[in-house]
């Protein structure tokens, strides 16, 4: 068997293993309630896809998030794929990225590097873990690889389609995640540095703009630019504030004053409270940017410590998202839990070492990868660090990692026919610094992941599973998951609220004790006050319910559930006052209800009682 045939068989085997692992993870994921009951970002993307597929248009305008990924999901959902179908589509997109990466490796680095690329990407635990989730990182990953391919192609061709393809890829990446806009100056810089006559450089930049500008202009027009103050998406200011505030921890989205979790309405309400008026999306974005900068300037020591913590999270292993945790995964597929423990290091360590040693030896690829890695990592470092934000870095790191492993293989086998590769002392020193940085990150991660944090993560994951069971109507399974969450982490916020909701109908006293227990842990829990209000309302204590809802809205003006419930209870109080002949109290209740978002049947009933007041005086 020739060497070329052997390599083809190995490549086919690696592709088969990659496919089988992803299929097996799908089957394991289907055993979790979150597969059919998505949460947090997944839920937002799923709702948007359903809205677009039904022809209802975009649920937000101007766009808070960049729109390309939800548009893509909506287009797929028009084929009635359903939630499971969209998950499989995400996996196919990830596999497409893997094959594209391997093809580029074979074309520009050699077949040996292509085999390593297939192995590193196909066995990457983080890559496998995130693929079936409705998170946009796999689209960014594919688009960054497409931009890399266009950049390599345009080295070999006159100005034209490859230049436009590079611009289009970066524009679409920016319409998926706005931080990809930072890669545009890199492309212009590298294009201009190409050893060509000035006239040819100008033609290249013209082709590049022809691919880059139209998608961005289209979305800017849809956003009402410049009147809205939003070019592509308005989330930048909010993300800066939730990542830089007195409660920020470096990798969580924390909006101060909203308790354990927050929603888009909470951010809007906080901005309008600070400004004292209704704000446009652009004004809200700029306000949060000012708030973040002011905190960093007023608390420079705390901001510096937070930045160092983010650097540690950036270099440390990829943590999981909101859907599952290693204990949950290990109970279903222990192989995935094992791969997750290795996946970041298996790419970051050889990838960073390869870049430090001057790999890939293809200068065009090396310059592009180094710039893209630095800019993309730096684009989310000022905000907060999350595993899914770092996922697009993995395929970029895979190229220098693959060539490093090829060179090491030649060196160990003392292959005299191997390409000449002798990094200088400066390169070796840089590689040593890269090793020290990764070692420091490992120590940081070991210290950060103490026993308390491990318990808190386990509690959080059981809490998410309980929420999914509850959304699916499996109350007994939800109750078991919540009890496990409390056993893992007794101080877990909000779990008692949902346990209280489950106990509210049959055991109202138990429900009240759970809500009160939550308030003893966090007196500013607006959700606890809201739940206590619903309990009082169900027991007929309307005045007590109104006081609870008012307290919830005082603590968290953007809590829509409390605002709706307050409107309903005001209508009930108004109808009771009208039945007693107290017209002034009924009219006051009407005005209070009308000031809330509530527009249910109770409002029309109260209006009818005031317009036709039998017995009122």
Tell me the pLDDT tens digit for each residue of 486-496.
Answer: 998 888 888 99
Query: How many other C-beta atoms are found inside a 10 Å radius of the C-beta of residue 424?
Result: 10
Average pLDDT over residues 238-256: 89
If DSSP states are collapsed to H, E and C, what string results for 546-609? HHHHHHHHHHCCCCHHHHHHHHHHHHHHHHHHHHCCCHHHHHHHHHHHHCCCCCCHHHHHHHHH
% of the chain at pLDDT higher than 90? 51
pLDDT grade for 204, boundaries at 50, 70 and 90: very high
pLDDT at 451 over 60: no
Fold annotation for 455-611:
1.25.40
**What integer pLDDT is reported at residue 141 of this predicted model?**
93
Q: What is the DSSP string of 270-328?
A: HHHHHHTS---HHHHHHHHHHHHHHHHHH-HHHHHHHHHHHHHHHHSPPPP-SS--HHH
Tell me the pLDDT tens digit for each residue of 409-426.
Answer: 887 776 655 556 778 778
Tell me the pLDDT tens digit for each residue of 539-559.
Answer: 999 999 999 999 999 888 888
Average pLDDT over residues 341-365: 86
pLDDT grade for 313, boundaries at 50, 70 and 90: confident
**What integer pLDDT is reported at residue 299 of this predicted model?**
95
pLDDT at 483 over 90: yes
Question: How many residues belong to the chain?
Answer: 617
pLDDT at 296 over 70: yes
pLDDT grade for 454, boundaries at 50, 70 and 90: low
Higher pLDDT, 76 or 430: 76
**What integer pLDDT is reported at residue 616 of this predicted model?**
44
Instruction: Burial-class residue 54 by CB neighbours within 10 Å (0-12, 13-18, 19+).
Output: exposed
Contacts of residue 70, Cβ cutoff 8 Å, sequence gap at least 6? 45, 48, 49, 52, 58
Average pLDDT over residues 16-36: 93
Residue written as tokens 């595993």? 387
**What integer pLDDT is reported at residue 617 of this predicted model?**
41
Nearest to 11 by CA among 108, 149, 105, 89: 105
pLDDT at 285 over 90: yes
CA distance 37 to 164: 40
pLDDT at 508 over 50: yes
**What integer pLDDT is reported at residue 573 of this predicted model?**
92
Tell me the pLDDT tens digit for each residue of 83-110.
Answer: 999 999 999 999 999 999 999 999 999 9
Average pLDDT over residues 191-209: 91
Average pLDDT over residues 355-383: 91
Mean pLDDT is lowest, of 184-188, 344-348, 469-473, 589-593, for 344-348
% of the chain at pLDDT higher than 70? 94
Average pLDDT over residues 556-564: 89
pLDDT at 120 over 90: yes
Residue 155, CA atoms < 13 Å, CB-side half-sphere: 16
User: Is the bond into 226 cis (omega within 30 degrees of 0)?
Assistant: yes
If DSSP states are collapsed to H, E and C, what string results for 453-477? HHHHHHHHHHHHHHHHHHHCCCHHH
CA distance 265 to 560: 8
- Averaged confidence pLDDT in the chain: 88
Q: Where are the domains of the chain?
A: 3-228+318-448, 455-611
**What integer pLDDT is reported at residue 312 of this predicted model?**
80
Average pLDDT over residues 15-20: 96
**What integer pLDDT is reported at residue 450 of this predicted model?**
56
């Amino acid at each position: 068997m020739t060497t070329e045939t052997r390599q083809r068989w190995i490549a086919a085997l690696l592709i088969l293993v990659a496919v089988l692992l992803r299929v097996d993870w799908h089957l394991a994921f289907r055993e979790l309630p979150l597969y059919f009951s998505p949460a947090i970002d997944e839920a937002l993307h799923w709702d948007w896809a359903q809205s677009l597929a039904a022809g209802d248009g975009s649920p937000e305008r101007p766009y808070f998030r960049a729109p390309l990924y939800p548009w893509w999901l909506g287009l797929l959902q028009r084929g009635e794929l359903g939630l499971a179908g969209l998950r499989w589509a995400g996996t196919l997109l990830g596999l497409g990225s893997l094959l594209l990466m391997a093809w580029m490796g074979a074309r520009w680095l050699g077949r040996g590097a292509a085999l390593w690329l297939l192995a590193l990407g196909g066995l990457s635990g983080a890559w496998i873990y995130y693929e079936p989730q409705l998170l946009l990182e796999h689209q960014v990953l594919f688009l960054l690889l497409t931009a890399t391919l266009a950049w390599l192609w345009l080295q070999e061709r006159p100005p034209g389609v490859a230049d436009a393809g590079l611009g289009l890829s970066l524009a679409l990446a920016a319409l998926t995640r706005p931080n990809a806009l930072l890669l545009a100056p890199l492309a212009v810089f590298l294009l201009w540095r190409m050893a060509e006559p000035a006239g040819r450089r100008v033609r290249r930049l013209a082709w590049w703009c022809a691919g880059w500008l139209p998608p961005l202009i289209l979305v800017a027009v849809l956003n009402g630019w410049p009147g809205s103050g939003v070019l592509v998406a308005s989330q930048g200011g909010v993300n800066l504030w939730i990542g830089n505030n007195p409660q920020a921890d470096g990798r969580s989205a924390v909006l101060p004053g909203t308790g354990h979790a927050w929603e888009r309405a909470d951010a809007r309400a906080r901005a309008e409270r600070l400004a004292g008026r209704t704000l446009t999306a652009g004004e809200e974005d700029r306000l949060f940017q000012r708030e973040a900068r002011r905190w960093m300037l007023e608390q420079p020591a705390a901001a510096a410590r937070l930045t160092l913590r983010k650097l540690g999270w950036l270099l440390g292993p990829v943590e999981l998202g909101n859907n599952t945790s290693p204990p949950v995964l290990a109970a279903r597929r222990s192989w995935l839990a094992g791969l997750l423990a290795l996946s970041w290091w298996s790419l970051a360590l050889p990838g960073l070492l390869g870049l430090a040693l001057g790999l890939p030896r293809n200068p065009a690829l090396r310059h592009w990868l180094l710039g893209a890695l630095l800019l993309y990592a730096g684009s989310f470092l000022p905000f907060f660090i999350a595993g899914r934000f770092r996922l697009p870095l993995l395929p970029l790191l895979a190229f220098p990692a693959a060539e490093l492993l090829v060179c090491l293989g030649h060196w160990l086998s003392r292959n005299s026919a191997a390409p000449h590769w002798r990094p200088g002392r400066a390169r070796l020193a840089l590689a040593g610094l890269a090793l020290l940085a990764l070692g420091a990150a490992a120590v940081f991660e070991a210290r950060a992941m103490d026993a308390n944090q491990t318990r808190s993560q386990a509690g959080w994951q059981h809490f998410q599973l309980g929420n999914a069971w509850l959304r699916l109507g499996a109350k007994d399974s939800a109750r078991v998951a919540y009890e496990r969450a409390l056993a893992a982490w007794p101080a877990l916020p909000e779990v008692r609220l949902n346990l209280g909701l489950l106990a509210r109908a049959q055991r109202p006293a138990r429900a009240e004790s759970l809500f009160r227990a939550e308030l003893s842990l966090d007196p500013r829990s607006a959700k606890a006050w809201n739940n206590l209000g619903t309990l009082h309302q169900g027991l007929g204590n309307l005045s007590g319910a109104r006081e609870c809802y008012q307290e919830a809205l005082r603590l968290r003006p953007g809590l829509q559930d409390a605002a709706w419930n307050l409107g309903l209870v005001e209508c009930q109080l108004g109808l009771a006052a009208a039945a007693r002949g107290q017209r002034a109290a009924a009219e006051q209740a009407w005005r209070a209800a009308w000031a809330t978002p509530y527009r249910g049947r109770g409002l029309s009933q109260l209006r009818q009682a005031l317009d036709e007041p039998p017995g009122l005086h």
